[in-house]
Amino acid sequence: MARLISVDKQITEKRVYPKNETFSLEEMYKYTNSSIVEFIYINGHIMVIDEEGKLNNKKVNDVATYYFRKYIKTQDFIVGDVLICEKSEIK
């Protein structure tokens, strides 16, 4: 089971599942609202983000930024919708 962390404050986190056993690239694009995704490995999970989100001035994702900073000691931030999943959910 993966979590979609949205910048939409009405529904911040929700559980999402791949159509098959693993997320396809198209599913990752859909969940992150992007055409290029980047993987960040944190605490045994994979955070899938929009690689060009900052260039496209997407909103800061406070919840995803919190998780990111908790495990990756940095002051950087995450923007846009984020998919966090198990390593086994991505091939």
Residue 45 φ then ψ, to 5°: -120, 170
C-alpha distances in angstroms, 14 versus 4, 29, 73, 80, 89? 5, 17, 25, 15, 16
pTM of the model as a whole: 0.91
- Give the pLDDT score at 11: 66
pLDDT classification of 68: cutoffs 50, 70, 90: very high
Residue 28 has pLDDT above 80, yes or no: yes
The sheet with strand 82-86 has its strands ordered as 13-16, 2-5, 82-86, 45-50, 37-42
Q: Residue 4: helix, strand or coil by DSSP? A: strand
- Distance of alpha carbon 16 from alpha carbon 68, whole angstroms: 20
- Give the pLDDT score at 51: 96
- Give the pLDDT score at 10: 66
Residue 73 has pLDDT above 90, yes or no: no
